[in-house]
Amino acid sequence: MIQNIKISTFVIKRSLKMFCILTGVAVITWSFSYTKHSSTLGRRLNGALGRRLSGSHLLSLDIADNHDIPIIFIITPTYYRLVQKAELTRMANTLRLVKQLHWIIVEDFEVINLKTQELFQSTGLSFTYFAQTKRNTTKNHIKGADQRNAALDLIMANHNPSIPAVIYFADDDNTYSLEIFEQMRYTKKLSMWPVGLSGGRTYETPIIKDGKVIKFLAWKSETRKFPIDMAGFALNAKVLWTYNPMRFSTDADSGMLETKLLEKCCAVEEIEPLADNCSKVLVWHTRTQKPQVRIFDNSLEV
């Protein structure tokens, strides 16, 4: 079986031990008390932190060689908080039901978490997991932009653009139907669909007339050219090369991240409406409540 993409990856049905033997990368572990994202909770990882594993250390992607259907690259920034493992488990359980998919998870920190990596390995999914910190120049309110940009760099460095692929920015706390993945897979340039529970409304959506997007029902639709949440669109991977550099702006105002990216490559007339002409909600911008924990016991990793 020929590998149809070369993107380096870190998993792929191999044990960490095997990885160390093959690459000679010594994985450093140490106990660590981590308070960056939650000063009151703190974090004891019981030796669960690894190196920031960058592309050059990663193994080759093990996606099945199936030229009939495009690859879906899922890009997920993530960061430590008590619900992280639960969110990623739920998301992995969805993604493992989607074929020809490569999941790029980017930890917003200096190093990856080996426990989290074990979780990805146990899913059997084809994935790349690495760490990328937020840059000093990035505005404080911006979440996940440097991490998504690093994932886009990784794709460009490793994927052959002549192989059909799409890119979807899937945050770790949303809810995804399986149907949306099969629909986005064939995105020609930019596809869009409604997002439930988004922008302070029951849903945000493009409005379609004669198969074309004519306007949007969304927060700030007057001032945002593409007023849609990150969960509501997919891009054909080729746009990365055609409109290079396609990267998230790290000084965007609140809520402008998506539109600023899409304005670099696309016109509203080019949007392909999915989800039955945007008549169905197939993804939800869910948010997980912060747990009210009074007793901290680090004997078990939650």
Q: Which stretches of the chain bind ligand UGA, using CB under 6 A?
A: 76-79, 108, 142-144, 147, 171-173, 229-230, 257, 285, 287
* Residue 173 contacts Mn ion per CB under 5 A: yes
Q: Which residues contact 49 (CB under 8 A, 6 or more apart)?
A: 28, 29, 30, 32, 111, 112, 113, 114
Cβ distance 219 to 200 under 8 Å? yes
Give the span between the Cα atoms of 106 and 78, in whole angstroms. Answer: 6
The residue (of 5 and 195) whose beta carbon lies closer to ligand UGA is 195
Work out how close the CB of 153 gets to ligand UGA at its nearest, in angstroms, rounded to a whole number.
16
The residue (of 79 and 186) whose beta carbon lies closer to ligand UGA is 79
Over its C-alpha atoms, the chain yields an Rg (Å, rounded) of: 19
The residue (of 33 and 140) whose beta carbon lies closer to ligand UGA is 140
Work out how close the CB of 171 gets to Mn ion at its nearest, in angstroms, rounded to a whole number.
5
Work out how close the CB of 60 gets to ligand UGA at its nearest, in angstroms, rounded to a whole number.
26
Judged by beta carbon distances under 5 to 8 A according to partner kind, the member of Mn ion, ligand UGA, none in contact with residue 79 is: ligand UGA
Cβ distance 248 to 260 under 8 Å? yes
Spell out the alpha helix ranges (H) of the chain. 16-23, 84-95, 114-123, 145-158, 178-184, 238-242, 257-262, 275-278
The residue (of 224 and 285) whose beta carbon lies closer to ligand UGA is 285
Judged by beta carbon distances under 5 to 8 A according to partner kind, the member of ligand UGA, Mn ion, none in contact with residue 76 is: ligand UGA
Work out how close the CB of 102 gets to ligand UGA at its nearest, in angstroms, rounded to a whole number.
17
Residue positions annotated with a catalytic role:
258
Give the span between the Cα atoms of 81 and 43, in whole angstroms. Answer: 9
Q: For residue 221, what are its two tokens?
A: 């639709």
Which residues are near Mn ion by CB under 5 A? 171, 173
